Chains A and B, each alone.
Chain A
Amino acid sequence: MKKLAVLCLCLALAPGCKKKFESYGVSIELESRSLPNGLRVIMIEDHTMPVISYQTWFRVGSVDEKPGHTGISHLVEHMMFKGTPKYPAKQLFQVLEARGANINAFTTRDYTAFHEEFTPDLLPKVIELEADRMANLAIEEDALKTEQMIVFEEHRLHTENSPVGKIQEALWALAFRTHPYRWPVIGIPGEASRIPREKVQEWLKKYYIPANAVIVACGDLKPDKTMELIEKYYGPVPGGSRSKREIAPEAAQNEERRLIMRAKVASERLSEAYHITSADNDESYAIDVLANIMFEGTSSRAYRRLVDEKNIAISVSGSSFTPAHPGLFMITATMNSSIPAAAAETELDLIIKELQEKPVSHEEIAAAVKQLTLQIVDGIRTPHGLAQLIGTVTAIFDDPERFSEDIIKYTKVTPGDVQQAAQKYLIPNNRVVVTLVPEAKIK
C-alpha cells in the first residue's frame, strides 16, 4: 500500500514519475506516465545498446475465459497479426521485418503481451503500427478460419506430440476443478476452432483497449520523444473501461488426486503438483527458496537422491509457479529404464518429510538466494528481458516497481520460513499426481 501511494503522488505532481532502483550492482530507472484514455506507459532509458524493446501488455489471459470459448485470448493473439484497414494482413510484418525487427507475442493464464525488438530509427513506425492494431484490428472470417487451423496444429505440436506437454495439461486439469486455471492457455482441445467471429470481436473490444493495457518501452530511447509519439498515435484511441476480474477462488483441496495416463514413451514419467499461494503473497519467496534447495543443480536434494544416489531417475526437476492467483509447486521426474514412478514418489516424499522435520541450513538458503539472484540478473541482460520483467510485475501486481525488492526479500527468508512452507503446502491431501506409463516398448 505504501508503494502505491508513492507512485500516485508522483503521477499527480508531474507529467511523469521517475524512480531509480539500485540493487546488487544493477541500476534501473523507470519513468511512468499515462494518457487520459487510461493507457499506462513505463519507459526505461538505456543507451548501452542500439536496440529498443517495445512491449504491449494486456491484462487478459485464459483466466478470463469461460468454458465454450476457452483459448480465445490466445486466438486473438494470433489474429492481432492479421492486419487493419490501413495496414492489411502481413503489412505489419513487411514494414517491420524489412528493417530487421523481431516481432512476436505470447499469451499466458493471466496476461497477453506483444513485443518488438528493433533499432531506434523504427520507434515511430512501431508505435504507429501498435496503436493502429489496438484501435482498428480487422477480424476477417477467412483469416480467422486459417488461424483456427494453425492453433489446432500448435496444440498438437506442443501437447499431443509431446509427453511433457501432455502430462502438464493433465496436471493443471486435475489440480483445478472450478478455477479457470484448469484449462490450458491454448484452450480445451477443439474449442478454439469453434469460436465465431462475433465472439472474437466482442473479446477484442472488451480487453484490448488502452484502459486495460500497459506499454513498456526499454532501451535506446528518449522518454519525452517517445511519449510525444505515444500521445500522437494512442491519444485518439477510445480508452474503454477496465473489466474487473471476478474469479471465485478454487476451494481448498482435501484429498489427493491421481491420474494414470498411457503413451508411447520409453519409461514412466512422474508429475506432482501441490497447491501453493499467489505472487502477491510474500510466502512465495520462501517457496522459491524451497524449490531451489530441492531441485536447482546437481547438488540439490532431489537430484542427489533420485539421480546420483538411488539411480532411479534420469532427470528430476521442480519449481514453484506463483501467478496472479494461487499457483502450483510442480515436480517432474523421468524414470530410469523400467523403474516405476512410485519409486521416485517415495524418495520425494522422504525428502519432503526431512524438510518438514528439520530446518534447512543457512548455507543452503544462501546458495538458493544466490541462484535466484543470478536468475534475476540474467533475465535483464537485454532490453527485451528487462521490459518483460517490468511488464510481468505490472500485469500481475499493477505495480511496475514490484521487482525492486525481490532480492532483498529472498535474503530475508529464514530456515523457519522454508520449513513452514514445506509443512503448510507439501502435504499429500494438497497434491495431484499424474503418472505417464509406457503403452508399449518402442523398438
Chain B
Amino acid sequence: MKHMISAIICCFFLSASHAFEQPVKLPEPAIEKLPNGLTIAWFASDRLPLVDISLLVKAGYRQDPAGRSGVAQLVAESIDKGCGGKSGAEIARTVESLGAERYSNADEDSFSVGMHGLAPDAEKLLEMLSLIVMKPEFPEKEFMHEHARIVDKWKHIADFNDVLAALAYDRVLSSGTPYARGPMLTSKEFAAIRRDDAVKFHTAWFTPSNSILMITGRVDRVKLGARIVELFGVWKNPEKPHKHSDIKTTHGRLEPSRGQILLIDHPGAPQAQMRIGMRAPLINDPDHYPLVVVNALVGEYFGSRLNSIARDKLGLTYAIGSSFSYDKDLSKFTITSATNSSTAGQLVSKILDILKDLRKGPVFEEEIKMSKAYLTGRFPIATAALESVASHWLAGMVLGLDPGHLSRFVASVNAVTAKDIERAITRHLDPAKAVVVVAGDAREITKSLHEAGLRSIKTVKPGELLQ
C-alpha cells in the first residue's frame, strides 16, 4: 500500500500465477459502508505488529483540469503541508515521532494517501490521516515551494535514460486518450497551476462516496471502527457531484510514423534504454488471460523467449522482459531492455524478430504448458502476504473488476487453449504496429540502428517531451 497503485497493478496482474487446479481461496476483506458512502475495507491480521491505513480516491492524472495538467501530482506533494490547523511540519513531526511513514501518491486513475506504522499507534495514525484527506489547507507558501520542487525534479529527468525512454513511450502510446497528459503535459501548463486549482481538485474528488478506506494489519476492529465513524462519519459529499469531461491530447510532434523509431537524444550516455510495444486490450477483455499466458512465455521468466535469445544466447543485455500494464481505459504491452549504444540496432532488430516469430507461430504446446504452470505456480507466492492480497483487491476496485476476480485467476489461466493464444496474438500483438522508443546517445545509436538496417528514425531532444 505504500506504493503507487499503478505499480501494484503491474506486479499483481502481470506476475500473478499458480500451481493449483482447485480454486484458490484468498482472504477477503470485511466491508462496511458509512452513511456518507465511504467504503471501509478491513484486512485484519494479528501476525505482525504492523498497521497500514490508506484512503484510495478514484481520481488521478486523468482528472487534471483543462490547461492545468500536473494538479494531481501537486496535490499529492502538498496535501499534507498544512491540515486542520496544523502546519506541515507539525503533521510530519507527529507521524514520524511514532516511527511511522506517511505516503501520498497519484497515478493515472487513482490517488492514495496513507499511513504505515506500528500497530499500537493505529488510532493516532488514523487521526492524522483524517486531517490530511478531509482538511488540507494547501498554505500558499508551502504550496508554491512544492510547485517549485516538482519543476526542479522534472528538470532532472534527463539524468536518467530509462526515465526518458519510459516517458516518451507513454506519451506516444497514450496519445489521443484521456491519459495522454500523464503526470504533467508541459512545463507551461504546470507553471500556470495555482493553489486554487489544488483546492478545487480536492473538493471535487476527495469525497466519501468516491473513496475507499482500507485498513490492513493488527487492529482492534471494534475500537478503531468506532474512531473511523467519529472521524470520517462527518465527512460530507458535495451537493452536486463534480462532472468530469475527459481531455484527449495528442502528441503529434513526438509520434513516429509506422515503422519509424523514436530516438531521444542524450549525448554521451553509454547505454541505450529501450521500450518496444503497443496498446493492448483492457483487463476485462475476453483475450486478457490468453495474453497473460503469452506475456509470460515471451518475457516474464528467465526461460522466456526474450531472455533466452537476447540475454543468454547473444549476451546483448543484462535485463530484458515484457509486461502488460493496465489503466482503467488503456492497456499497454511493453518490452523493456537496455544495451550498449553500439548494439542497440542489433537488440531492437532481435526483439522485433521475436515479435514477428510469435505472430507467425507456432507457439509450442510445451511453451504454453510451461507458461501456465509458471503463472499458476506463482499465484500462491504472489498472494501469500495479506498486504499483497489487499493491494490486489484495491487495484481491482480501481479497474472496476469484481471482487472475485483474483480467486478465479488460476482457473482462468488453466482454461486458456492454444487456439485462444493464436487468436489473441493475431488480434492484439501485431509487430507492424509496434512503437519503438530508444533513449541514449543519438549519434552512436543511429549508427548502430543503420547497421541493423533500421533507417527510419525520428530524433528528438529530452526537452521536447515536456513542450
Which listed residue, A24, A101, A264, A266, touches B377 by the CB 8 Å rule?
Answer: A101
B residues contacting A by CB (< 8 A) are 17-19, 47-50, 88-89, 92-93, 95-101, 116-119, 145, 148-149, 152-153, 155-156, 158-161, 218, 266-271, 273, 301-303, 308, 311-319, 338-340, 370, 373-381, 384-385, 387, 461-463
B50 & A161 in contact (Cβ 8 Å cutoff): no
A369 within 8 A of B: yes
**B-side contacts of A121, CB under 8 Å:** 19
Is A15 located at the chain interface by the 8 A CB criterion?
Answer: no
From B47, B273, B381, A119 is in contact (CB under 8 Å) with: B381
Cα A374 to Cα B376 in complex, Å, equals 33
Task: Assess whether A342 is interfacial by the CB under 8 Å rule.
Answer: no
Q: Is the CB of A380 within 8 A of B48?
A: yes
Binary contact readout A354-385 vs B (1 if CB under 8 angstroms, 0 otherwise): 00000000010011111111100110111100
Is A398 on the interface with B (CB-CB < 8 A)? no
A336 (CB) vs chain B CBs: closest residue? B152
Residues of B within 8 A of A163 (CB): 159-160
Q: Is the CB of B160 within 8 A of A162?
A: yes
Residue of A nearest to B273 (CB): A161
Residues of A within 8 A of B308 (CB): 90
Q: Which of A158-217 contact B (CB under 8 A)?
A: 160-163
Q: Check A381 against B462 for contact (C-beta < 8 Å).
A: no
Contact yes or no, A98 B269, CB < 8 A: no
A26 at interface by CB-CB < 8 Å? yes
Q: Do the beta carbons of A299 and B117 come within 8 Å of each other?
A: no
For A, the interface residue count at a CB cutoff of 8 angstroms equals: 73
CB of A107, distance to nearest CB on chain B (Å): 14
The complex places the Cα of A163 from the Cα of B101 at a distance, in Å, of 27
Report the stretch among A44-52, A61-69, A227-235, A324-332 that lies at the interface.
Answer: A44-52
Q: Is the CB of A298 closer than 8 A to any CB of chain B?
A: yes
Which of A89, A156, A378 makes the CB contact (< 8 A) with B271? A156
B253 shortest CB reach to chain A, Å: 15
Contacts of A383 in B (CB 8 A): 384
Sample of 6 A–B contacts (CB below 8 Å): A98-B373, A99-B377, A100-B19, A149-B316, A264-B158, A366-B97
Within 8 A of B (CB), among A71-90: 81, 89-90
Contacts of B17 in A (CB 8 A): 100
CB-defined interface of A290-322 with B at 8 Å, one 1/0 digit per residue?
Answer: 000000111110001001100100100000000
Cross-chain contact B118 with A149 (CB below 8 angstroms): no
Rounded to whole Å, the gap between the CB of A364 and the closest CB of chain B is 9
Judge if A93 is at the interface, Cβ distance under 8 Å: yes
18 A-B pairs besides A98-B374, A99-B374, A99-B377 with CB distance below 8 A are: A50-B380, A51-B381, A90-B303, A90-B308, A98-B370, A100-B18, A100-B374, A150-B315, A153-B315, A154-B318, A156-B270, A156-B338, A265-B159, A266-B156, A299-B89, A314-B149, A337-B152, A443-B462
Most chain B beta-carbon neighbours within 10 Å: one of A160, A296, A314:
A314
In the complex where A264-B268, A370-B98, A443-B463 touch, is A157 in contact with B338 (Cβ < 8 A)?
yes
A265 adjacent to B156 (CB under 8 Å)? yes
A80 to chain B, nearest CB (A): 13
Determine the chain A residues whose CB is within 8 A of the CB of B159 once the complex forms. Answer: 163, 264-266
Q: Which of B50, B98, B269, B378 contacts A100 (CB 8 A)?
A: B378
Instruction: Indicate if A423 sits at the interface (CB-CB under 8 A).
Output: no
Given A97-B302, A102-B381, A150-B317, do A377 and B48 touch, yes or no (CB 8 Å)? yes
**Cα distance, A307 to B101, chains bound together (Å):** 18
- Interface flag for A252 (CB, 8 Å): no
List the count of A-B residue pairs having beta carbons below 8 Å apart.
199
Q: Which residue of A lies closest to B155 (CB)?
A: A266
Contacts of A266 in B (CB 8 A): 155-156, 158-159
Assuming the contacts A118-B381, A297-B92, A367-B98, asked whether A267 and B268 have C-beta atoms less than 8 A apart, the reply is no
Chain B residue numbers with a CB within 8 Å of A311 are 145, 148
Nearest B residue to A370 by beta-carbon distance? B99
Return the contact of A51 from the options B302, B303, B339, B384 (Cβ within 8 A).
B384
* Cα separation A31 to B50 with both chains bound (whole Å): 25
Minimum C-beta distance from B14 to chain A (A): 14
B374 touches A25 (CB 8 A): no
Pairwise interchain contact B267-A264, C-beta atoms closer than 8 A? yes
Contacts of A337 in B (CB 8 A): 152, 155
Q: Which 7 A-B pairs have the closest CB atoms?
A: A100-B377, A370-B99, A149-B315, A100-B378, A25-B49, A49-B384, A154-B318
CA distance A339 to B378 in the complex (A): 48
Please name all residues of chain A whose beta carbon is closer than 8 Å to the beta carbon of B387 when the two chains form the complex: 381
A residues less than 8 Å from B376 (CB atoms)? 100
Of residues 385 through 419 on chain A, the ones whose CB sits less than 8 Å from some CB of chain B are: none
**Within 8 Å of chain B (Cβ to Cβ): is A248?**
no
B120 (CB) vs chain A CBs: closest residue: A25
B118, B145, B316, B339: the one within 8 Å of A308 (CB): B145
Q: How many whole Å from B149's CB to the nearest CB in chain A?
A: 6
B375 — which chain A residues lie within 8 A by C-beta?
100
Contact B374 A367 (CB under 8 A): no
Chain B contacts for A367, CB-based, 8 A: 96-99
Chain A nearest Cβ from B212, distance in angstroms:
22
**In whole angstroms, what is the CA distance A89 to B89 when docked?**
56
A94 at the interface (CB under 8 A from B): yes
Complex contacts, A161 vs chain B, CB 8 Å: 161, 269-271, 273, 338
In the complex where A157-B338, A370-B118 touch, is A100 in contact with B373 (Cβ < 8 A)? yes
A56 within 8 A of B: no
- Interface residue? A243 (CB, 8 A): no
The verdict on A272 contacting chain B, using a C-beta distance below 8 Å, is: no
Contacts of A265 in B (CB 8 A): 156, 159
CB of B136 to closest CB in A, whole Å: 16
B338 engages A94 (CB within 8 Å): no
Task: Tell me the residues in window 97-138 of chain A with beta carbons closer than 8 Å to chain B beta carbons.
Answer: 97-103, 117-119, 121
The chain A residue with its CB closest to the CB of B311 is A150
Contact A377 B118 (CB under 8 A): yes
- Assess whether A146 is interfacial by the CB under 8 Å rule: yes
Cβ of A439 under 8 Å from chain B: yes
Q: A98-B374, A266-B156, A334-B156 are in contact. Are A298 and B92 (CB under 8 A)?
A: yes
